[in-house]
Amino acid sequence: MRTLTQYFVARYLTLFAAILAASTLTIVIVETLLNYDVIFGMNEGGAGLLTYVFLRVPSYYLRDLIPVAAFGASFFSLGLAVRWFEITALKAGGISPHRAALPLLAVAALLSLCAFGVNETIVTGATRAWNEQQQAADEQLVFRRRAFWYHKGSIVYNIMGSDPATHTLRGVEIIRRTPRGRLELDILAERATVAKDGTWHLENATVRHFTPDRPEEPTRIEFGVTMDIHISDDRDLLLRQTDAGSLPLPELVAYIERYGGDDEPASRTNRERLRTLLHQRLSEPVLVLLFTLLAVPLALRATPGGGLGPTSLYAVGTLGLFFLARSVTIALATDGIMPGAATVWGVLCLFALWGCLGLWRTAR
């Protein structure tokens, strides 16, 4: 029995590694072809390509590639065993086909733990680095207007991103207008540090002075300016605008507790969006085990000695249905229409029940 376990576990892990590597390579090739101008427009040659690949692929695809690779590995491990009459031989020896599936489920549980570690280290790190790189590219385009706007009196602030851990703001633009709304001062700074009293410390800022009453006067520009501007007594006023998706889970939990919002409708929606994101992140490693559970009964339904084509189509359809249901329900939960935790875990439980029902049917 130990030999049987080692045999199927070795096949499962080999196929998992092969599928993960092949799918990653395919995405790299497609990304390179579709975004050739962007990649090589960095003027960094091969280094730019490596930076693009090693940041974009993990941040955009790795969370889904790992469970999909687990699905394919479990499906082909048992599907090929059925096709090559190995499962028939097990039945002839009085061994249930589920005996071959149990080691795969156990390994999938361990891979779920590994996926959790990868998501919270490699994926979150790549996501944060990718976001920072994109923001840096935007800054080179004279601070493309996006992210967060804040208005106080005659001054308007535009913030591209923030880091609550270091109390810094990225991509800061400060615009001061006259009481009649005419532009008087424009300040651009790559970074600002927020002090405890709410003062922003700007370094290497570019300051443009305008003369509203005499528009024919040339604009006076100062470069490399260091200055302090008092914005608000609330130090955390704008730091809550950070990209929550790039935070590790402990920081995300702390972020939700601190910036979850009050009982206003907009704040409740924001709080529900953050909670949905939290439960989505918690559930992602579980997909490795869930997809293995879904693949096992599908593979055991294959015809001995026949091809895996019809069963493969059914398997792909099952994956497509899951991702469709997950995407729709998460979108509804993000908009506050459905509760986030119940929605995210409800879909997983529903498909887990489907997988268990499929296992029970193959046992009859």
pLDDT at residue number 12? 95
Structure tokens at 278: 């939290």
How much is the CA Rg of the chain, to the nearest whole Å? 27
pLDDT at residue number 112? 96
pLDDT at residue number 141? 33
pLDDT at residue number 9? 93
Which among 143, 197, 146 has a CA at the least distance from the CA of 171?
143
Residue 33 burial (CB count, 10 A)? 9
Cα distances from 309 to residues 306, 316, 358, in angstroms, run 9, 11, 19
pLDDT at residue number 60? 87
pLDDT at residue number 232? 57
User: CA–CA separation, 255 vs 221, rounded Å?
Assistant: 39
Residues 6+ apart with CB under 8 A from 261: 267, 268, 270, 271
* 100 within 8 A of 8, measured Cβ to Cβ: yes
Give DSSP secondary structure letters for 256-271. HHHHS--SSHHHHHHH
pLDDT at residue number 22? 95
Residues 6+ apart with CB under 8 A from 166: 193
Residues of the chain with pLDDT under 70: 1, 37-48, 132-153, 161, 163-165, 231-245, 258-270, 363-364
User: CA–CA separation, 196 vs 198, rounded Å?
Assistant: 5
User: CA–CA separation, 81 vs 104, rounded Å?
Assistant: 13
Phi, psi at 171, each rounded to 5°: 65, 65
pLDDT at residue number 261? 53
| Three-class secondary structure of residue 73 per DSSP | helix
pLDDT at residue number 76? 94
User: CA–CA separation, 44 vs 113, rounded Å?
Assistant: 37
CA angle 90, 91, 92 (to 5 degrees): 90
pLDDT at residue number 30? 86
Residue 265 burial (CB count, 10 A)? 9
pLDDT at residue number 298? 92
User: CA–CA separation, 19 vs 68, rounded Å?
Assistant: 9
Sheet strands (E) in the chain: 148-152, 155-163, 168-177, 183-194, 199-209, 220-230
